[in-house]
């Protein structure tokens, strides 16, 4: 009995040591969903789900994503970075619904002469005709964030295609042009989603920086937004900001101005097409 106990104790200790790093990574992921890459299932089949996420770089270094997910994204024609050899960054905004700040964001972009991509949902399209028209008139791109914001990899081919096409057709009928950039809801995609995007002449745009800015009842102030964004500048950055955030709207001008002080410029979305 005593010999069995002596054998069991080292085994239990080894198991605890091996398990600790896994638990540590898990809790880090829960605390900051953009701090580590999370893949829910294997990425080797069309039915699997890749969930985009990054390990942030430091001091201007390029963030890293999981190799398998990056390969699937890039080989499928998508991107998450511009040219990393240029001191150029790109502003993108996700628009699930209007919270009263998009007009202020557009004012700042016009004042600073910066063009951006606004990814809209079907609900946003139906309720914000004047704002979308202003986006287009002022030279911004309006991207497709799908009709109903479903997780695209969870849909079959036909339903996934329809989530993109339905919004595209409505947009074309009203504004006389097709969308050309897609951002999959929740950052979830797989090879089938990318195949469909390519067949519809869409470029799938992920991001190289995002932060927890979408909780409207947990805003932390413009200084927090400024610090969160500016400490993660890097060449070719595709910055994802949520337009529902008051912090982002209030900090945007200072973010753009700080980028220019550091030698960066904001590229035209045309560069990413």
Q: What residues are labeled active site? A: 94, 242
Q: What is the rounded CA–CA span in Å between residue 250 and residue 10? A: 56
Helix (H) or strand (E) holding 50: strand 50-51
Q: Residue 178: how many CB atoms within 10 A of its CB?
A: 13
Dump the DSSP string for 86-138. SSEEEEEEEESS--S-HHHHHHHHHHHT--EEEEE-HHHHHH-HHHHHHHHHT
C-beta separation of 248 from 242 below 8 A: yes
User: For residue 181, what are its two tokens?
Assistant: 């950039």
For the chain, give the longest Cα–Cα distance.
81
Give the helix ranges, DSSP H, for the chain: 2-31, 67-75, 102-112, 122-127, 129-137, 157-175, 191-199, 222-230, 246-261
With vertex at residue 198, the alpha carbon angle to CA 192 and CA 204, rounded to the nearest 5 degrees, is 85
Strands 50-51 and 188-189: antiparallel
Q: What is the rounded CA–CA span in Å between residue 207 and residue 247? A: 20
Q: What is the rounded CA–CA span in Å between residue 91 and residue 201? A: 22
- Residue 158 CA, chain-centre distance (Å), reads 24
């Amino acid at each position: 009995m005593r010999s069995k106990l002596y054998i069991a104790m080292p085994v239990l200790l080894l198991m605890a040591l091996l398990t600790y790093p896994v638990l540590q990574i898990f809790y880090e992921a829960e605390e900051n969903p953009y701090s580590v890459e999370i893949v829910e299932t294997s990425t080797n089949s069309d039915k699997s789900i890749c969930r985009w996420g990054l390990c942030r770089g430091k001091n201007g270094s390029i963030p890293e994503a999981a190799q398998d997910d990056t390969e699937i994204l890039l080989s499928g024609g998508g991107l998450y970075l511009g040219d990393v050899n240029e001191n150029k960054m790109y502003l993108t905004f996700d628009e699930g619904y209007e919270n009263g700040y998009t007009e202020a964001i557009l004012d700042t972009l016009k004042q600073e002469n910066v063009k951006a991509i606004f990814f809209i949902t079907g609900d946003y399209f139906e309720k914000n005709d004047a704002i979308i028209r202003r986006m287009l008139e002022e030279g911004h791109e309006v991207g497709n964030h799908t009709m109903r914001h479903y997780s695209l990899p969870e849909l079959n081919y036909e339903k996934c295609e329809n989530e993109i096409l339905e919004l595209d057709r409505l947009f074309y009928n009203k504004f006389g042009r097709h969308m050309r950039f897609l951002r999959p809801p929740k950052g979830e995609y797989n090879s089938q989603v990318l195949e469909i995007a390519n067949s519809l002449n869409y470029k799938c745009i992920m991001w190289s920086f995002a932060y927890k800015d979408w909780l409207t009842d947990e805003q932390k102030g413009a200084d927090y937004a400024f610090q969160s964004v500016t400490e993660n500048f890097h060449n070719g950055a595709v910055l994802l900001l949520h337009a529902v955030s008051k912090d982002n709207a209030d900090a945007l001008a200072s973010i753009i101005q700080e980028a220019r002080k550091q030698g960066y410029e904001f590229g035209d979305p045309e560069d990413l097409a």
